[in-house]
Amino acid sequence: MKIGIFDSGIGGVTVLHEAMKRLPNEEYIFYADLDHVPYGVKTPEEVIGFVDNIVADLVGRGVDAIVIACNTATSVAAEYVRIKYDIPIIGMEPAVKPAVEASNSRVLVMATPITIRENKLQNLLKKVDKDHIVDLLPMPGLVRLAEAGIFEGPEVDEYLTEQMAVINKDDYDQVVLGCTHFTYFKSAISKFFGGKVGLVDGNRGTVKHLAELLGLELFDGDLSHDMIYNVTYVESGRNVTAEAALAKYAGLHARLDQE
Ligand code: DGL
C-alpha cells in the first residue's frame, strides 16, 4: 500500500521511521511543510489551510491512507480533512493515557502552544486525568532548534532550563513528548531530568493504529539504506531529489536509531 505521512517539518520523520521499521513492505511518501513550519504558533485557521493543501497533494499522488504525523495539525484539522476527503486519515495526540498509567507521581506533557490550547487535549485530559496529576508545558522553541538540526548542546540545555523554570522537575516521573519534533531531544530531556523520568511518545501507538486500520501485520526490524532512499520525500509540494537534501533525511533516520 502507498502511505502518505506528513508534518510541518522533520518531526514527522520520527513517525515515518517507526512505520518503516514496523511495516517494511509498504510504499511511503513523506511530506514536510517546510514553507510553513512551525505550525504550533500559527492560528488554527492557517493550519487547517496548510493541512487541506497537503492532503489534496497526497491524494493526488494516489496514497491509500494518510498519517498526520503532527499533534498540532491533528488537534485543529483532522476532523476537517476526514469529512472532506474519502480516505483513511490517522491523527496523533499526546500519549497522556499510558503516561498516567505508568506514573506514581506527576506527568508533564510538553507540546506546542496550539496543542495545549485546543479542546482535543482538554477533552482527553477530562477522560484520562481523573486525579489531576497532569501538567502542561508549551515548548515551541524545540521545533525551531530541531529544524536547525540542533538536537543537543548548550543551546538546547539553556532552552530547556529557561522553559522549565516554572516547574519543579522532581515532581515528575513521566514526560509526554506531545509534539513529534520533540522525539529528537530524548537524550537532552532525559539528561535534564537526571535520567529519572520515563519519556512517552505516541509513535508506536500511531503505527499500530495504522496497521490495524489497513489490516497489515506488524514486524520489528531495522532500516536499510535502500529503504531510506526508497521513500519519496516532498517539501511543501516539491519532490526532494538533490543528493544533499536526501542525505539530510538519511541523517535523521540514523539519529533516530541512536535515540
Ligand atoms: N511536529 C508538530 C507536532 O507534533 C508541530 C511542530 C510545529 O510545527 O509547531 O505538534
Instruction: Assess whether the C-beta atom of 74 lies below 6 angstroms from ligand 1.
Output: no
Confidence class of residue 177 from pLDDT cuts 50, 70 and 90? very high
Span 169-178, average pLDDT: 98
Instruction: Assess whether the C-beta atom of 39 lies below 6 angstroms from ligand 1.
Output: yes
Instruction: Assess whether the C-beta atom of 143 lies below 6 angstroms from ligand 1.
Output: yes
Q: Which residue has the least CA distance to atom 9 on ligand 1?
A: 40
| Percent of the chain scoring above 90 in pLDDT | 97
Cell of 214: 489497513
Q: Is the peptide bond before 140 cis (omega within 30 degrees of 0)?
A: no
Nearest to 70 by CA among 86, 85, 55: 55
15/204 Cα distance (integer angstroms): 8
| 224 CA → ligand 1 middle, Å | 27
Q: Which run of H or E residues covers position 5?
A: strand 2-7
Give the bridge partners for 106, in sequence order. Answer: 172
Test site for ligand 1: of 5, 7, 42, most ligand atoms within 8 A of the Cβ: 7
| 33 CA → ligand 1 middle, Å | 11
* One-letter identity of residue 204: R
Greater confidence, 259 or 17? 17
Q: Is 10's pLDDT higher than 90?
A: yes
**Predicted confidence (pLDDT) per residue in 82-91, tens digit:** 999 999 999 9
Span 105-123, average pLDDT: 97
**Residue with C-alpha cell 522553541?**
141
Confidence class of residue 259 from pLDDT cuts 50, 70 and 90? confident
Q: Is 258's pLDDT higher than 90?
A: no
Catalytic residues: 70, 179
| 91 CA → ligand 1 middle, Å | 12
Q: Are 23 and 90 in contact (CB under 8 A)?
A: no
31/12 Cα distance (integer angstroms): 8
Instruction: Assess whether the C-beta atom of 11 lies below 6 angstroms from ligand 1.
Output: yes
Q: Is 217's pLDDT higher than 80?
A: yes
pLDDT value at residue 3: 98
Q: Is 130's pLDDT higher than 80?
A: yes
Instruction: Assess whether the C-beta atom of 206 lies below 6 angstroms from ligand 1.
Output: no
Chain CA centroid to CA 188, Å: 17
Span 237-254, average pLDDT: 96
Cell of 67: 498519517
Instruction: Assess whether the C-beta atom of 179 lies below 6 angstroms from ligand 1.
Output: yes
| 179 CA → ligand 1 middle, Å | 5
Test site for ligand 1: of 36, 43, 179, most ligand atoms within 8 A of the Cβ: 179
Confidence class of residue 221 from pLDDT cuts 50, 70 and 90? confident
Looking at the CA of residue 70, tell me the nearest atom of ligand 1.
4
Spatial strand order of the sheet with 198-200 comes to 134-138, 106-111, 172-177, 198-200
Test site for ligand 1: of 36, 143, 206, 235, most ligand atoms within 8 A of the Cβ: 143
pLDDT value at residue 68: 98
| 39 CA → ligand 1 middle, Å | 6
Determine the 3-state secondary structure of 174 from DSSP. Answer: strand
pLDDT value at residue 126: 97
pLDDT value at residue 37: 98
